[in-house]
Structure 1
Amino acid sequence: MILCIETSTTMCSAALGRGAEVLATRSIEAPEGGHAAALAPMVDELIRWAKAEGHQLSAIAVSAGPGSYTGLRIGASLAKGLCLGYQIPLLAIDTLELLAHQAISALPEGQEATIFPLLDARRMEVYAARFDSQGKRLSEDYAAVLDGEHPLFEDAPHPILVGNGATKTRGLWPQSSYEVWDEGFAPQASAMIPLASQAFERGDFVDTAYWTPNYLKDYVAVIAKNKVLNR
């Protein structure tokens, strides 16, 4: 029994599962740092349900990033606290790999494609990676600046761009052929369960005390403008 936590975007979700089976899931849209208020009650509800059904947690899986700095930090903090409290191991699931597998599961049977999971990194930047249609990783996670002169996918066959970062690419490369899947494609905890179960079977646990999410870019704090003094 694995509890999965996903907080890399404005969609905040948690799910319980075993193997590939999703037993219970909760999700809510939590914009502007709303994960802090939304996540803990959802997780508490799922844990109470598991106890009532006689289930015992074996591990916690958390979205490892990249993505929202604040969201990832909140998800990681809660996951670590639960692991320490229940004395169970922690699994870290790459967010872009999760998003790629969600897209692959939506492909028509037999369709070949190159999957580019893209997460918004503000302005014209995205967090990106590259996978084939069987889920094989073809690149490491990286931060990219989008521009109209150089398509992100270059010579990749049948590119499909997935996620909230893919929205920025609509019409950006009119001379190129590619698909954009953004509506309904946010990373989800329920989709993390098969990946987390596989990682559990392999024993791919991370150090609960010292592991940190993969932010890819350094956090830049912004000083809020005083609306009264206009400065």
Structure 2
Amino acid sequence: MQLCIDTSSRYGGVALSDTDGVVVEARLWHSTANHTTQLMPSVAELLASRKLSAAELSGVAVALGPGPFSALRVGVSAAKGLAMAAGYPIIGIDTLALEARAHLTPDGIVSAWLDAGRNEVAAAWFRGSGERVREDEIGSPDALLDDEPAPPDGVLIYCGEAANSRRDAIENAEASGQASHPAAVAPWTPAGRLWALAELAAERLRDGDADDLATLQPYYLRMPTIGAPKRRDTVRQGRSAAASTQN
């Protein structure tokens, strides 16, 4: 069995899959924070339900993002910790490829969208083979809709969590003529990424194509902005400074 971990967005999940990449059991949740309180208890529950220990797994796969900085760190750190402790291979796969996996068609192009914050979207474009058409981008939905690559013979399929939440805008763009080619928005479910992660990870494990545990990192696409300290930190530091002065 391999363990699959996805903390790429507010929707997170873990799954156990067999050597063919078929999910046998999963746990899904919606987090209002960064998945810290849900992830490891869900892993423990999943293993217990199958009477397995972490050491009995054959590998661990993790979604790399892009996504929220803290959420990605939680998932990737947990996966690396498990792999390091047990000595089994780790596979990291970017989340845009996971979103696109189920929608690849021979004649079309798939445009996978994930929320990137600041009212922007992270996007990647895939041919039917799974090969990327061009570099991944972050931009406003309108800017991306104006610059989508046209499929040579087929439909441009929008998919992913951010495309699903912007379905009306995408469909209106096509109806108004903003889109210069036929387009459709694929249905989205939180489980889809986990199922794709299981399949792709199984393929790579069979090929012996594991990642380097020491160098594997989340895929941010855009590095997070570090803001000013929160008020409670400022107050605490101020009190410490005052105490030091008095001493």
- TM-score bin, normalised by smaller chain: 0.7 to 0.9
Task: Note closer, same or farther for the CA distance 1:151–1:185 as it changes in structure 2 (3 Å cut).
Answer: farther
Aligned to 2:189: 184
Which of 192, 197, 217 in structure 1 is aligned with 2:222? 217
Task: Note closer, same or farther for the CA distance 1:113–1:186 as it changes in structure 2 (3 Å cut).
Answer: farther
Matched position secondary structure for 2:150:
coil
Task: Note closer, same or farther for the CA distance 1:186–1:151 as it changes in structure 2 (3 Å cut).
Answer: farther
Give deviations 1:123-166, integer Å, cap 9, x for gaps: 34211111124434323433233335962424234111112222
Judge conservation of contact 1:163–1:185 (CA < 8 Å) in 2. Answer: no
| Counterpart Cα distance in 2 of 1:112 and 1:59 | 34
Q: How does 1:68-79 map to 2 (within 5 A)?
A: 68-79=68-79
Q: CA deviation at 1:218?
A: 1.0
Matched position secondary structure for 2:56:
coil
Asked whether 1:202 is paired with 2:199, we answer no
Give deviations 1:61-80, integer Å, cap 9, x for gaps: 00022122121110001001
Task: Note closer, same or farther for the CA distance 1:188–1:147 as it changes in structure 2 (3 Å cut).
Answer: closer
Judge conservation of contact 2:28–2:191 (CA < 8 Å) in 1. Answer: no
Task: Note closer, same or farther for the CA distance 1:17–1:131 as it changes in structure 2 (3 Å cut).
Answer: same
Aligned to 1:117: 112
Task: Note closer, same or farther for the CA distance 1:87–1:130 as it changes in structure 2 (3 Å cut).
Answer: same
Aligned to 1:12: 12
Higher mean alpha-carbon deviation, 185-194 vs 159-168, is at 185-194
Q: CA deviation at 1:45?
A: 1.4
Matched position secondary structure for 1:116:
strand
Aligned to 1:41: 41
| Counterpart Cα distance in 1 of 2:184 and 2:147 | 12
- What are structure 1's unaligned runs of at least 5 residues? none
| Counterpart Cα distance in 2 of 1:195 and 1:152 | 29
Aligned to 1:25: 26
Q: CA deviation at 1:224?
A: 7.4
CA RMSD of superposed structures (Å):
2.7
| Counterpart Cα distance in 2 of 1:153 and 1:191 | 24
Higher mean alpha-carbon deviation, 5-14 vs 128-137, is at 128-137
Asked whether 1:61 is paired with 2:56, we answer no
Q: TM-score, normalization: structure 2?
A: 0.78
| Counterpart Cα distance in 1 of 2:108 and 2:42 | 35
Aligned to 2:95: 95
Q: TM-score, normalization: structure 1?
A: 0.83
Matched position secondary structure for 1:130:
strand
Which of 159, 164, 168 in structure 2 is aligned with 1:162? 159
